[in-house]
Structure 1
Amino acid sequence: MKWTLDQLATFVAAAEAASFSAAARKLGRAQSAVSTAIAMLEASLDTELFDRSGRTPSLTEAGRALLDEARELMRQCRHFDNRALALATKLPGQLTLALDEGLPYPAELALVQALDQAFPHLELTLFHGSAANIAEWLLAGKADVGLAFRRLPPDAALVSQPVGAVPRVLVVGSEHALVHEPGICRQTLARHRQLLVTPRFAHDDADERISPQLWRADSLYVIAEQAAMGLGWAVLPLNIARYPTQNGRLVEIHAQDLVFAALEVHLYWRAGQEEASMLQWLRRYLANAVFARDVGRPPTA
């Protein structure tokens, strides 16, 4: 078989257009060139791809079966070309980005859009998880760069820099007793169950503990759901407290003698990566503190 990629591309174009003349216009060729390319492909495969007995050619059973295969081959060719271009121009060909599950969606989507505009041939993989997951993925080489709240457990193999912050609010479920409690303060909160994120390492949450009654979870969204169910109070990033699924279920309350600092967002990478072009781009982009803007705005459909 001596078929060519050009013949495959012509076959796919003709099949999708359901017309040799329409395929010719799309490809910028003469109709005779399209007909010849498909005829040569059929001869190479010893298989008839189109039934030409009607007014317009239609795919044969074999043509329908081979169309998806041809599309996949063309997709792989585009991928090959894009990777070669990235290598030739020294642009990154792949990026695996590990993101804290609690990061604001608008900022995350803006980052992905900016990556698409800056690196149109980039092959991007996103992982979402807890800070502990992100540290594990980075150290194992499964992720290139990570974005997470606060600091990961100390490790000489990882380097970080703060790139923004997300405000936090005190919340309870709409049916919780604290909703109607006057003059809430630290002592008031201590009488009710507190919902906390599982600490990254020993004593990591010592400054966050207020109530002797504690429930912990490794997910901010799980904590938000528990709070909405009336199981306790929690301090959550503003974007999670105002997530659409919690609308009307979570109530933001105020404690007179407490101020909850914003959660810092840190960019993480493995030591020795400082000269990588992608990391340099990310550091410049995130220097604009994108994770401090519009964090309370719900994601749009």
Structure 2
Amino acid sequence: MNTDKIKAFVYAAECGSFSAAAKKQGKAQSWISNAISDLEIDLNLSLFDRSGYKPTITNEGAALLFHAKNMIASETTLLSHAHHLSSGIEDRIVLAIDDWLMTKKMRQLIVDFQLTFPTVELVVRQLMTQDIVYLIEKNEVDVGLATGRWFFDKSIRFQTIDYIETCLICSKGNPLTKTPVGHADLFGFKQVSRSSIYNLEHKYIDLPDIERVNVSDMESVITLVENDIGWAVIPKSVALENQERIDIIESEISEKGHLLRIELITPELKANGVATQWLKRHLINHY
């Protein structure tokens, strides 16, 4: 069905006259009148009552107006989507972010992306770094933000874009706070860690040969540590925000209580279209 006829119907109903609809659509009034008449023939319905000074929409026309507006919106979406695809803009991007890095500023970046590329389906997955690495290697993620230094084969591109400071935490008054701790000092204490979907270890955070309690979110980590269930490695900024609940442990353990790299990771096999390039550039500028 000719969408110009649909637009003539919608504009006439919204503007209240055929002349106003003609002006809005950039057509002659006679064209609007003929287009609506043709549409009424196609639909076998009267859309306007023309017996008065101005045409008024009929009950049948009012019932169809919502669907007519949806047809126009669908056409606009179709044309916009087609334009993006022809311009090298991807249809779908999967972004995986370590949950330590999901800040208010990061969420605003996601909003900005959707405003810039409204036709792109952006899938954002908030995961543990080891799960992000696993999915990157399986070519199921387009762009990843991970913590730590991971080594890949040549099919994976990675770039260090910043660092995040971490620290060890324990409950208030825990003996671990009395002296700088090493690996051996943590035996007998459980490590509270974030859960991995694929039951994988984070080699820069999970200590070997230590019993662990796995939970799904940062608040649960802090709550368990606060209640003396164990110790944990978390971003120092988060620890400082919760000092009334937990203590920071002075650590002698390499990579624990120090800096972790923030890595931007992309699989070589994934196409780097316009939207992906925008996303990578703004993630780098984010830091």
TM over 0.5: yes
CA contact (8 A) 1:96 1:126 kept: yes
Which stretch of the first structure deviates more once superposed, 133-142 or 264-273?
Answer: 133-142
Matched, 1:77 2:75: yes
Matched, 1:125 2:122: yes
Correspondence for 1:267 among 264, 268, 277: 264
CA distance in structure 1 between the aligned counterparts of 2:134 and 2:19, rounded to whole angstroms: 52
Which stretch of the first structure deviates more once superposed, 55-64 or 94-103?
Answer: 55-64
Structure 2 partner of 1:186: 181
Measured after TM superposition, the shift of residue 135 of structure 1 is: 4.3
Pairing of 1:123-272 with structure 2 (within 5 A): 123-130=120-127, 131-135=129-133, 137-138=135-136, 141-150=139-148, 154=152, 157-171=155-169, 176-178=171-173, 183=178, 185-186=180-181, 192-198=189-195, 204-205=202-203, 208-209=206-207, 212-217=210-215, 219-220=217-218, 222-224=220-222, 226-227=224-225, 231-237=229-235, 251-258=245-252, 260-272=257-269
User: Closer, same or farther in 2 for the Cα pair 1:256/1:150, shift >3 Å?
Assistant: closer
Matched, 1:8 2:6: yes
The percent of aligned pairs where both chains have the same amino acid is 21
SS of corresponding position for 1:186: coil
User: Closer, same or farther in 2 for the Cα pair 1:92/1:26, shift >3 Å?
Assistant: farther
Which stretch of the first structure deviates more once superposed, 183-192 or 86-95?
Answer: 183-192
Measured after TM superposition, the shift of residue 195 of structure 1 is: 0.5
Larger Rg computed on CA atoms: 2
CA distance in structure 2 between the aligned counterparts of 1:180 and 1:21, rounded to whole angstroms: 83
User: Partner letter of residue 250 of structure 2?
Assistant: Q
CA contact (8 A) 1:51 1:58 kept: yes
User: Closer, same or farther in 2 for the Cα pair 1:205/1:71, shift >3 Å?
Assistant: same
User: Closer, same or farther in 2 for the Cα pair 1:35/1:229, shift >3 Å?
Assistant: farther
SS of corresponding position for 2:245: strand
User: Closer, same or farther in 2 for the Cα pair 1:11/1:240, shift >3 Å?
Assistant: farther
CA distance in structure 2 between the aligned counterparts of 1:91 and 1:82, rounded to whole angstroms: 11
CA contact (8 A) 1:191 1:211 kept: no
Structure 1 partner of 2:24: 27
Structure 2 partner of 1:294: none
TM-score by length of 1: 0.66
Measured after TM superposition, the shift of residue 201 of structure 1 is: 7.9
CA distance in structure 2 between the aligned counterparts of 1:231 and 1:48, rounded to whole angstroms: 74
SS of corresponding position for 1:178: coil
User: Partner letter of residue 124 of structure 1?
Assistant: E
User: Partner letter of residue 256 of structure 1?
Assistant: E
Which stretch of the first structure deviates more once superposed, 203-212 or 68-77?
Answer: 203-212
Matched, 1:89 2:84: no
What stretches of structure 2 of length at least 5 have no aligned partner? none
CA distance in structure 1 between the aligned counterparts of 2:11 and 2:138, rounded to whole angstroms: 43
SS of corresponding position for 1:231: coil
CA RMSD of aligned residues (A): 4.5
User: Closer, same or farther in 2 for the Cα pair 1:93/1:103, shift >3 Å?
Assistant: same
TM-score by length of 2: 0.69
Correspondence for 1:104 among 99, 102, 105: 102
Measured after TM superposition, the shift of residue 29 of structure 1 is: 4.9
Measured after TM superposition, the shift of residue 49 of structure 1 is: 4.0
User: Partner letter of residue 82 of structure 1?
Assistant: S
User: Partner letter of residue 106 of structure 1?
Assistant: K
CA contact (8 A) 1:164 1:265 kept: yes
Q: Provide Cα deviations, 1:106-154, integer angstroms capped at 9, x if missing partner.
A: 332343355356x445513123132354345545554322223335674
What stretches of structure 1 of length at least 5 have no aligned partner? 292-301
CA contact (8 A) 2:46 2:60 kept: no
CA distance in structure 1 between the aligned counterparts of 2:260 and 2:167, rounded to whole angstroms: 11
CA distance in structure 2 between the aligned counterparts of 1:179 and 1:19, rounded to whole angstroms: 75
CA contact (8 A) 2:166 2:259 kept: yes
CA contact (8 A) 1:197 1:216 kept: yes
